[in-house]
């Protein structure tokens, strides 16, 4: 692997022990994938340090204590508790306080402490051809497919990329891998973000780790739709990039993928994703979750309008999850008031699958964390549904955003409208 | 018994030895494994019920989430990690990054002879530095 003089200086320890270890790790990663050299990155979305995982906050603290400093703009991924108000979600003080230690470590390193799966809604908006590193698969797919930036599905090493400004040139950093592997023909016109998560989920199931080129959408999807589409396929498959001609840089609207394996997605395939995640009791749900991935300002407007002047049914809890920045904008715009008046909770930094509801984590016993008993969680996202099933391990109900709100108000599940309804 | 060896591509460097645990299905480190016990709990895996701890995990491929690294690393934190991974396909960068942190060697073996010959419980020595898997 060819290393620049700067890379070699980092390896020699000229910028301190933390940067030296980071560069050693990045060189190993590059060698594993036969990377010819390293690229400069313009941005990194990195691990939060998760209080529900043994030794995980300590891992971030140790990195900060070694003297790590971020040399490019860095945002932090979703965390295990709302650091502004963990009581509202029933998290114990021990958990909230441990999570706050990760926040302090990130501030010492110079990360923007956004703690979200949608840093783009908080202003982190990498541009065409910018190499970036990202720990969140939803950020990876949005960056590659909507913004034209270049990202792999990274893990912890996104921290190392942020500390060094470097990343090995492999995977989706190479043009050769930013080409379609499948041609997907969509005949079901999706309506709303829940549909787009289901469409993405169906595509990811079909193409697995491929790069689907998507045809047949009757309109240009909005930013929230594109976000939902990407996270759906990053959840069911290992998709890191889709190509939507006319949207994905640099693919023009006449781009096609003739001759590649064809996948057809019809209305029945969308409905099947919804049906597959309707395993819970239609009158026995205790939590309605909205905002997966973390809601944009536009989605907050939508939720606020749906709840305005209404009251959530007895025995039902509603969480609207978004990031800190959007939450502040929503507060300033008067959008939190109708949600709170209806009885909903607005939660930042975390979400049901990322908080102490998860059963797949293993917190230090001294934290005293016990996952609550939950009968069923009702959601408006295929991503949340998938991970509720795998991580909280309880039944789900899945419908459109509008009908999820109707369900919360009435206490009775309102399924998604079929296309011919 | 004579030793049989196959060429392997070292992805995460290191050496390890242990009994083979062989799957025909893709494994997701997020969701399919209980980090406290090292037990496979994912029903879509043909290893459901098996324990990966100390085993050489022989898989066609890894699947799914970018959170894979965290679960692989957590297996190490809980001392329930596998000895090594032998894969047919290059893993997601997230899996590789987790294996680096957990110091679990990974090799990719392309030789179809290996995939035909290996049987459950075979004692495998994985040398990801020299690039070799040996049945001992």
Contacts of residue A412, defined as CB under 8 A and 6 or more positions apart, other chains included, come to: A282, A283
Residue B2 has pLDDT above 80, yes or no: no
Contacts of A234 in chain B (CB under 8 A): 66
The answer to whether position B122 is within a domain reads: yes
Answer positive or negative: Cα dihedral of B10, B45, A240, A119: negative
Task: Decide which of A175, A204, A236 is a domain's last residue.
Answer: A175
The answer to whether position B76 is within a domain reads: yes
On whether any CB of chain A is under 8 Å from the CB of B29, the answer is no
Task: Decide which of A175, A191, A216 is a domain's last residue.
Answer: A175
Contact B98 A155 (CB under 8 A): yes
pLDDT tens string B91-133:
989 999 999 999 999 999 999 999 999 999 999 999 999 999 9
Total domains, chain B? 1
Which residue blocks in chain B are alpha helix, DSSP H?
A: 68-77, 93-102, 112-117
Contacts of A276 in chain B (CB under 8 A): none
Both tokens of residue A279? 């395993």
How far is it, in rounded angstroms, from Cα A108 to Cα A81? 20
Contacts of B48 in chain A (CB under 8 A): none
Task: Decide which of A267, A289, A307 is a domain's last residue.
Answer: A267
Contact A156 B69 (CB under 8 A): yes
CA closest to A167 among chain B residues: B93
**CATH number of residue A86's parent domain:** 3.30.499
Total domains, chain A? 3
Contacts of A33 in chain B (CB under 8 A): 90, 93, 96
Range of the domain at A305: 277-410
CA closest to A237 among chain B residues: B64
The answer to whether position A419 is within a domain reads: no
Alpha carbon A312 to chain centroid, angstroms: 27
B 55-84 → A contacts, CB under 8 A: 63-71, 73-74, 77-78
Asked if residue A189 and residue A145 are part of one domain, the reply reads no
The answer to whether position B29 is within a domain reads: yes
pLDDT tens string B40-99:
988 778 999 999 999 999 998 887 677 889 999 999 999 999 999 999 989 989 999 999
Asked if residue A328 and residue A404 are part of one domain, the reply reads yes
Strands, E assignment, A239-368: 262-265, 287-295, 317-322, 345-347
On whether any CB of chain A is under 8 Å from the CB of B114, the answer is no
Asked if residue A187 and residue A139 are part of one domain, the reply reads no
CB count in 10 Å sphere of residue A317: 18
- C-alpha distance from B2 to closest chain A C-alpha (Å): 31
Contacts of B93 in chain A (CB under 8 A): 29, 33, 152-155, 157, 171
- A210 to each of A29, A180, A291, how far by Cα in Å? 22, 8, 27
The answer to whether position A415 is within a domain reads: no
Contacts of A140 in chain B (CB under 8 A): 66
The answer to whether position A202 is within a domain reads: yes
**CATH number of residue B70's parent domain:** 3.50.30.10
Asked if residue A121 and residue A27 are part of one domain, the reply reads yes
- C-alpha distance from B7 to closest chain A C-alpha (Å): 16
pLDDT of residue A410: 98
Residue B1 has pLDDT above 80, yes or no: no
CA closest to A231 among chain B residues: B65
pLDDT in tens, chain A (421 residues): 999 999 999 999 999 999 999 999 999 999 999 999 999 999 999 999 999 999 999 999 999 999 999 999 999 999 999 999 999 999 999 999 999 999 999 999 999 999 999 999 999 999 999 999 999 999 999 999 999 999 999 999 999 999 999 999 999 999 999 999 999 999 999 999 999 999 999 999 999 989 999 999 999 999 999 999 999 999 998 899 999 999 999 999 999 999 999 999 999 999 999 999 999 999 999 999 999 999 999 999 999 999 999 999 999 999 999 999 999 999 999 999 999 999 999 999 999 999 999 998 888 888 999 999 999 999 999 999 999 998 899 999 999 999 999 999 999 999 999 765 4
Range of the domain at B11: 6-135
Contact B70 A156 (CB under 8 A): yes
Burial (0-12, 13-18, 19+ Cβ within 10 Å), A3? middle
Asked if residue A255 and residue A282 are part of one domain, the reply reads no
pTM for this predicted structure: 0.96
The answer to whether position B1 is within a domain reads: no
CA closest to B107 among chain A residues: A32
Contact A155 B70 (CB under 8 A): yes
Active site residues of B: 65
Q: How many CB pairs under 8 A join A and B?
A: 85
Asked if residue A190 and residue A79 are part of one domain, the reply reads no
User: Across the interface, which of B31, B64, B98 has its CB nearest the CB of A360?
Assistant: B31
The answer to whether position B96 is within a domain reads: yes
User: Across the interface, which of B65, B71, B96 has its CB nearest the CB of A32?
Assistant: B96
- B56 to each of A3, A29, A335, B133, how far by Cα in Å? 34, 21, 54, 11
**CATH number of residue A396's parent domain:** 3.30.499.10
pLDDT of residue A52: 96
CB A74 within 8 A of CB A123: no
- Cα Rg of chain A, angstroms: 21
The answer to whether position A39 is within a domain reads: yes
The answer to whether position B118 is within a domain reads: yes
The answer to whether position A73 is within a domain reads: yes
User: Across the interface, which of B64, B77, B97 has its CB nearest the CB of A155?
Assistant: B97
Contacts of B31 in chain A (CB under 8 A): 360, 387, 390-391
Asked if residue A202 and residue A166 are part of one domain, the reply reads no
- C-alpha distance from A26 to closest chain B C-alpha (Å): 9
Helix (H) or strand (E) run with residue A152 in it: none
The answer to whether position B110 is within a domain reads: yes
Asked if residue A156 and residue A233 are part of one domain, the reply reads no
- For testing contact with chain B, the best of A238, A240, A369 (most B CBs within 10 A): A238
Asked if residue A134 and residue A237 are part of one domain, the reply reads no
pLDDT of residue A420: 54
The answer to whether position A421 is within a domain reads: no
User: Across the interface, which of A56, A155, A390 has its CB nearest the CB of B93?
Assistant: A155
Q: What are phi and psi of A37, to 5 degrees?
A: -165, -170
Asked if residue A391 and residue A319 are part of one domain, the reply reads yes
pLDDT of residue A390: 86
On whether any CB of chain A is under 8 Å from the CB of B44, the answer is no
How far is it, in rounded angstroms, from Cα A44 to Cα A238? 20
Contacts of residue A365, defined as CB under 8 A and 6 or more positions apart, other chains included, come to: none
- C-alpha distance from A362 to closest chain B C-alpha (Å): 7
- C-alpha distance from A32 to closest chain B C-alpha (Å): 5
Contact A53 B30 (CB under 8 A): no
Asked if residue A324 and residue A256 are part of one domain, the reply reads no
The answer to whether position A416 is within a domain reads: no
Asked if residue A188 and residue A164 are part of one domain, the reply reads no
- For testing contact with chain A, the best of B12, B36, B69, B97 (most A CBs within 10 A): B97
């Amino acid at each position: 692997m060819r290393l620049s003089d700067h890379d070699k200086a980092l390896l020699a320890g000229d910028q301190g022990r933390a940067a030296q270890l980071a560069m050693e790790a990045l060189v190993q990663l590059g060698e594993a994938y036969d990377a010819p050299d390293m690229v400069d990155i313009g941005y990194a979305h990195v691990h939060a340090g998760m209080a529900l995982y043994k030794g995980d906050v300590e891992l971030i603290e140790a990195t900060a204590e070694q003297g790590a400093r971020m040399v490019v703009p860095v945002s932090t991924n979703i965390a295990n508790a709302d650091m502004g108000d963990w009581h509202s979600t029933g998290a114990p003080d021990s958990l909230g306080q441990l999570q706050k230690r990760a926040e302090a470590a990130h501030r010492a390193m110079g990360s923007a402490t956004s703690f979200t799966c949608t840093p783009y809604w908080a202003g982190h908006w990498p541009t065409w051809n910018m190499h970036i590193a990202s720990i969140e698969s939803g950020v990876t797919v949005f960056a590659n497919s909507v913004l034209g930036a270049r990202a792999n599905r990274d893990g912890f090493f996104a921290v190392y990329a942020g500390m060094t400004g470097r990343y090995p040139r492999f995977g989706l950093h190479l043009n050769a891998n930013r080409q379609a592997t499948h041609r997907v023909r969509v005949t079901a016109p999706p309506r709303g973000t829940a549909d787009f998560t289901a469409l993405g989920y169906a595509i990811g199931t079909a193409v697995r780790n491929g790069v689907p080129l998507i045809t047949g959408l009757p309109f240009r999807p909005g930013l929230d739709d594109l976000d939902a589409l990407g996270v759906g396929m990053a959840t069911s498959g290992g998709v890191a990039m889709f190509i939507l001609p006319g949207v994905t840089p640099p693919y023009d609207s006449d781009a096609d993928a003739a001759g590649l394996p064809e996948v057809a997605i019809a209305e029945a395939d969308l409905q099947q994703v919804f049906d597959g995640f309707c395993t819970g009791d239609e009158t026995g749900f205790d939590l309605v979750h909205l905002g997966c991935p973390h809601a944009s300002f536009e989605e907050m407007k939508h939720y606020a309008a749906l709840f305005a002047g209404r009251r959530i049914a007895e025995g039902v809890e509603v969480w609207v999850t978004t990031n800190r920045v959007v939450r502040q904008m929503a507060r300033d715009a008067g959008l939190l008031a109708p949600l709170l008046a209806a009885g909903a909770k607005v939660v930042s930094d975390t979400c049901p699958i990322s908080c102490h509801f998860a059963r797949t984590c293993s917190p230090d016993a001294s934290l005293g964390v016990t996952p609550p008993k939950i009968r069923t969680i009702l959601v408006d996202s295929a991503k949340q549904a998938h991970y509720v099933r795998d991580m909280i391990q309880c039944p789900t109900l899945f419908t459109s955003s509008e009908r999820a709100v109707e369900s919360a108000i009435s206490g009775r599940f309102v399924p998604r409208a079929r296309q011919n309804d | 018994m004579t030793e049989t060896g196959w060429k392997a591509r070292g992805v995460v460097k290191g050496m390890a030895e242990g009994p083979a645990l062989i799957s025909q299905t893709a494994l997701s480190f997020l969701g399919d494994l209980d980090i406290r016990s090292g037990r496979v709990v994912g029903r879509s895996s043909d290893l459901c019920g098996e324990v990966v701890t100390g085993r050489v995990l022989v898989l066609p491929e890894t699947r799914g989430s970018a959170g894979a690294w965290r679960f692989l690393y957590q297996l190490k934190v809980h001392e329930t990690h596998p000895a090594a991974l032998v894969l047919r396909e290059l893993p997601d960068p997230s899996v590789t990054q987790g294996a680096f942190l957990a110091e679990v060697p990974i090799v990719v073996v392309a030789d179809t002879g290996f995939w035909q010959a290996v049987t459950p419980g075979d004692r495998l020595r994985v040398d990801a530095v020299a690039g070799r898997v040996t049945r001992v």
